[in-house]
Structures are given as C-alpha cells and as structure tokens.
Amino acid sequence: MQAARCPTDELSLTNCAVVSEKDLQSGQHVTVKTTPNHKFAFTVKTHHTVVPGTIAFSLPQRKWAGLSIGQEVEVANYNFDKSKQCIGAMTIEIDFLQKKSTDSSPYDSDKMAAEFIQQFNNQAFSVTQQLVFSFCDKLFGLMVKDIEAMDASILRGEPASGKKQKIEVGLMVGNSQVVFEKAESSSLTLVGKAKTKEARQTIINPEWNFEKMGIGGLDKEFSDIFRRAFASRVFPPDIVEQMGCKHVKGILLFGPPGCGKTLMARQIGKMLNSREPKIVNGPEILNKYVGESEANIRKLFAEAEEEQKRLGANSGLHIIIFDELDAICKQRGTGASSTGVHDTVVNQLLSKIDGVEQLNNILAFCMTNRPDLIDDALMRPGRFEVKMEIGLPDEKGRVQILTIHTNKMRNFNLLAGDVDIKELAFETKNYSGAELEGLVRAAQSTAMNRHIKATSTVEVDMERAEKLQVTRDDFKGSLNNDIKPAFGTNQEDYSNYIMNGIIKWGDPVTHVMDDGELLVQQTKNSDRTPLVAVLLEGPPHSGKTALAAKIAEDSQFPFIKICSPEKMIGHSEISKCQAIKKVFDDAYKSQLSCVVVDDIERLLDYVPIGPRFSNLVLQALLVLLKKAPPKGRKLLIIGTTSRKDVLQEMEMLDAFSTTIHVPNISTGEQLVDALELLGSFTDKERASIAQQLKGKRVWIGIKKLLVFIEMSLQMDQDYRVTKFLSLLRDEGALNEGDQIRI
C-alpha cells in the first residue's frame, strides 16, 4: 500500500492508521513494514475519503515509523495473543504538544489515565511509539516508554503469579494501568496516583490486603462478588462481545446491622480503577415536591448516560452506592400515601438500571437489613441479580476483625502481651463486626480510665499514662459488662432458670441430661438433620425449664434464646406471633442456634375452662417448629410443657422429633438423695427424715421441694424436720398408701 497524509485533524487524534473500507475493516490490527528490518503495529480505522490502496498516517506516526508521503509499505493482518500480549501496565512520557500552549495549572493523572484508556481501548501500542492525546481541550504529545504484559493467571481468574514480563507490542484493554511521567524539560504539573506506578491497582488484585481495607471475615463474599460482578470486566471487550456476555449491573448486600455491608461497598468502590463512587442514603432521594424524587434518581445516572453516548463500549465504570434501599424501594402498591411517590421512584430506578435504553457502564451496590421489603422487579437478573448475604463473622473472621482494630495499638506497643486475639475471637460468638469494634473501644476506655486522677479536677496521670497498655482484663471486663451481641446468647436469661444448679436426685435426671447431650451432638454433627426439635414434658415443678436451660447452656452454641411467656405479658395474638417469629429469624442468622420454647401451653393461652387457646399462635408455632433453617445453618429447638395431653389434641406433638419425660421425685430414697445433694439439713436431720420416709412413696417436684426446704429452715433447729414432714403431708406429697399426685 501507499503511505498518505491523515485526512482530518480529528482522525489524527485517534492513534489509528486510516484506510479505505474496501481494503480493511475498522478495529483490525495490522503490521506496516517499511524496510526489511523495520515493522510497526497499528490499529486501523476506515474513512470514505481515503483512496483504496493507500494507508494514511498522522504526523507523529510518520515521525515514529520514518514514513514519507507516497512511500510504498507492506501491510499485513496482525492477531494479538490475548494470553501474552494484553497490556498490564504502560508507562508514558507526556509533555505539551506545543510550547506556546503551556500552563501551570495541575492536571489530574488519574482522570487522564481513565480518559486515555477510554479513547484508545482495544488499540495496539508499541514501545517508543509517539501519539497525540487530547485532554481538557489541550493537546499533549505522548511517547510510550515501557510496556508490561498482563499476568495471564488474572485473566483466568487465578491468583496472580507475580511475574512481570516486558513486551514490545501490546493490546490496550479496559483494566490496563496507564502511568504518566512528565518529560525531563517539561513544565507540566501532574497530580494524582497515576503519575507513580506503585500506587496503582488493577481492577481485581487477588493479592489485595484485606487488613488495609479495614474489613475482616468477608473473604468468601469478596471472591463471590468479584467472580460475578467483575470477571466480565477484566476480559478484553471483544472477547466479552463474542460471548454475548452482559456485565452485572447491580449487587444487593443484605444481613444483620453492623456486619460490614456499607463498608464493603465503599471499599470496593475505592479499590477499583473507576471514578469516586456516588454514595446515596435512601431517604435523601425523597423530596416533598412532586417529581423531584424521580429527578434525583435521574441525576445519579446522568453522567454515566452522557459518557456512554460519547464513548460507547470504552466508557469507564460508574459506581453508585444506595444505603438503606428499603427506604425508597418498597413493594409497589403497598404505600398508604395518596401521591404514590415510592412507586414512581421504583419505576424510575427500574427504567434507569435496565430499561429500554440500557446502560452498560454502571454498577449499583445496594444495602438493606430488610430484603423482604424491596420490590420484586428489582431482584430479577439484569438488575440487582447478585444477592449476597453479609452474615455474622465466623471465628476466623472475628480473628481478622479484631486484628484489624488492634493493629495500631500493637504497632505502638499499647497492647499487653497477655491479650490473645484467638481467645477473644472464641469468646465473642455471634458478635457482628461493629460490636467487635465497640468491644475494642470499650477495652481502650477501661485502660485509659485507670490513668485518670479523680481529685477536685479530672487530670491524667502523665507519668503512668506513658506506660498505658490495654490488657486481657480490660477486654474481659468489657466482654462481661459493656458490649453484648444483638444476636447472641443472653446469659442472664438462662442463668435465672438454673440459679440453684441441676440436682441429680436419681437416674431419671441423668437420663434426661444424657439424651439432651445426644441431641446437641446430633445438631452439631449431622448434615441430614439440620433441625432437631425435642419436647421435655412432665408434671408441674419437675424442673423442665431448668433442664432445658442447662442443656442449652452446655451446648455452647453461639446463639441461645429462651422464648418465654413472661416476656409476652399483655401482647396481642398478632404481636405475640411476631415476637416468636423474630426469635426464630434471629436464630437463622447464626451457624448454630438453640431456641428454648418454654411453657408452650401458656404461650398458647390455654385454659381448661372453656377450653380456650390461641389458634393464631398455635399455627405460627407449628410452622416454625417444622421450618428447616437456611442452608449451612443448624437449629436445636427445646420445648417444655406440663400438658402433653393438650398438645396431643392440638396435633403439636408430631412437630417434635422426640419427647423426653421429666418425672417428679417418686420414692423416699430419691427425696433423701436430693436433700443430701442440697446440703440444707444436717446429717442427723437427714437420717431422721430418711427413717420417716423409709418404704413410703412420695410425689413431689424438685422446685416445690426446694420451697419446702427453705421454709423449714426458717424454723428453730428442733422443729425443722417436723415442719418439713408436715409440709409434705399437707401438700399431699406424702402418703403411707398409694402415691398422690398434686
């Protein structure tokens, strides 16, 4: 072909060689051979003014390749090896094109790099190549100094190998790094990270340091988000186009408060080579004027729309972060307001994310604690198709989070040597990330408080303050007194039920405890039965609740809650159902949970006169007792009742996996054993009671027995035994003939 002059100034800024559409197609890559030893790579663009058989070059291109007008050159197709020739990083020397157009104003190298990648995406570049670049209405002369190939393992989604390979010719892709260096004698002022190579990150860096991000315990969630949302953005656009692949446009992060949803979205926005993300709190969108709320949604997408029209597939990534999405995107048709503002806001958001005019250069992150409130249309593929639960961190995650929050203290030697992060992580079951941060703050304030002198004025003891260290005891104190997990065990709950301990007065109690331990182990270890429900039934005062609480405590499950009628006094049927459902919903958020449903007949409002009971609560309990927890979660339910016959009639017994009978004390020997374990009477008094009860049958619950013992102990020592036996007789718990049940 014959070399020619570039037909227009506009085409000379594209860095492409210009040909006739009869010879080649736009976007093709070619090699231009000027002499037997000199060959240059170009990307071509077609234009109707170019004569067939000629190939047009701009002045910088002719200078670089040593071409003259009318020179005969040999042109051949060139195909890039995508696994070896994609540009990972490129260093470019920059200066003003014309000395008379110099100015002293600073130029943002980050914006410059983003604009460069958009303008020259999918083009061939060679070391020593010269080109002209238009930025902020100024023309700059560029010269390619150095090219590094992209690590092929990143393209395959594998961890980076860390090898850097220099290449002479490479293909610019969407996530290439561009680093600008000003020419030696240039007066150009550059600001931003892209003027230094070290500070740049690729769109996905598998070696990214999560501690630097300030997020711990979410490694799996990060890798899942990268796989779904960014894998398609790493590959060269032409491969993505050939696959017919569309980029993910929306990610919904949901889960309990304080688990790092907002933090994760914000940090992902920072670590990507995109613009600063737009962060929007849901309620900020709403406006009292008609149409303004919808206009606020349109403004969020205006910049991305304008850039997509201008640059098409080469447009950069725009990230929008919606916090508290449930505030603006409730189910349509459920709002009580006459204006229907929420409905129109949802409609506007739907049309912008995936409407008739599709935007392919946006990524929306949405956070909510209540995914059930969000309109279903937003959840379909093409909109917020990646739904990621950010749950409570496991033990490994808690180690990461505590390490992050104690890192500075450790660096400045303010953390005592007796603080064991792994021990703290083990003891903080079901703590969220925010609660772990609060725990560290509470321990710090406890340590600082030791060095404050409380005299007439509050002063810091400077001599001792210089030796300030946060110790293990500070963390222990904060753990016990200051910070309690919202979704964890409430020790005060079940310690009230077992304040007198478990009195193993005979084999029946031992059997109940052994069976309880077996069920705990089944819940932990069996993958076939993620839900185990057991009913402890027996006469009143036999200690069912205490045994249930003890089994729950010994299980060491991270989540233990007691669903008790005493907490629902005065509740309506509906609010009682909601309270019971909340206990179970909270339990589903933990890996291992135990729920004690105490005194079921009281929860059901059952009375024999009538008889009367709450069918609404009954149906709710029947559903919840049979509902399996989410995948990967395990739940143990322990119910207690004194009216097994009533539950049988209500068809509730079938909802439990098994039933364990908790009997009363039924023989004199068992009663004496109980007295001995309690140690309330002297040996002589116990011997006297044993003589009186020998061969006699009794029937008394351990709870009632404790009351009688304490009542007898208030008497003078000579009358204790007499009083105790008379109390047994008066209650009908003692009879010389047949046993009498009370």
**What is the tens place of the pLDDT at every residue in 181-200?**
888 777 787 877 665 543 33
Q: What is the pLDDT of residue 208?
A: 46
Catalytic residue among 428, 545, 640, 641: 545
Are residues 517 and 643 located together in one domain of the fold? yes
Last residue of some domain: 661, 691, 720?
Answer: 661
Catalytic residue among 544, 550, 561, 704: 544
Radius of gyration of the CA atoms of the chain, in A:
37
The DSSP element (H or E) to which 472 belongs, if any, is helix 472-481
Are residues 541 and 634 located together in one domain of the fold? yes
Catalytic residue among 599, 640, 641, 673: 599
Are residues 232 and 372 located together in one domain of the fold? yes
* CATH number, domain containing residue 41: 2.40.40.20
Residue 184 three-state SS: coil
Q: What is the pLDDT of residue 492?
A: 57
Residue 544 annotated to the active site: yes
Q: What is the mean pLDDT of residues 142-159?
A: 75
Q: How far apart are the C-alpha atoms of 543 and 509, rounded to whole Å?
A: 9
Are residues 21 and 61 located together in one domain of the fold? yes
**CA distances from residue 232 to 123, 157, 173, 356 in whole angstroms, order as listed:** 19, 11, 12, 22
Are residues 499 and 647 located together in one domain of the fold? yes
Query: 179 or 103, which is more confident?
Result: 179
The DSSP element (H or E) to which 10 belongs, if any, is helix 9-12
Structural domain span for residue 357: 210-389
Are residues 272 and 364 located together in one domain of the fold? yes
Are residues 116 and 103 located together in one domain of the fold? yes
Instruction: Say yes or no to pLDDT of 340 above 80.
Output: no
Are residues 624 and 537 located together in one domain of the fold? yes
Q: What is the pLDDT of residue 642?
A: 94
Catalytic residue among 354, 375, 598, 673: 598
Residue 703 annotated to the active site: yes
Dig out the tokens for 529 from the structure.
């039965």
Q: How far apart are the C-alpha atoms of 476 and 470, rounded to whole Å?
A: 11
Are residues 384 and 399 located together in one domain of the fold? no
Are residues 405 and 426 located together in one domain of the fold? yes
Q: What is the pLDDT of residue 205?
A: 44
Residue 300 lies in a domain: yes
C-beta separation of 133 from 140 below 8 A: yes
Are residues 59 and 93 located together in one domain of the fold? no
DSSP letters, 11-80, are HHTTT-EEE-TTT--TT-EEEEEEETTEEEEEEEEE-TTSPTTEEEE-HHHHHHHT--TT-B-EEEE---
Place of tokens 């009477």: 681
Last residue of some domain: 613, 638, 661?
Answer: 661
Are residues 272 and 419 located together in one domain of the fold? no
C-beta separation of 103 from 211 below 8 A: no
Last residue of some domain: 437, 464, 482?
Answer: 482
Residue 484 three-state SS: coil
Catalytic residue among 626, 627, 684, 694: 626
- For the segment 670-722, what is each residue's pLDDT rounded down to a tens digit? 888 888 888 888 888 888 888 888 878 888 888 888 999 999 989 888 888 88
pLDDT category, 494, cuts 50, 70, 90?
low
Instruction: Say yes or no to pLDDT of 480 above 90.
Output: no
Residue 256 lies in a domain: yes
Residue type for position 580 = I
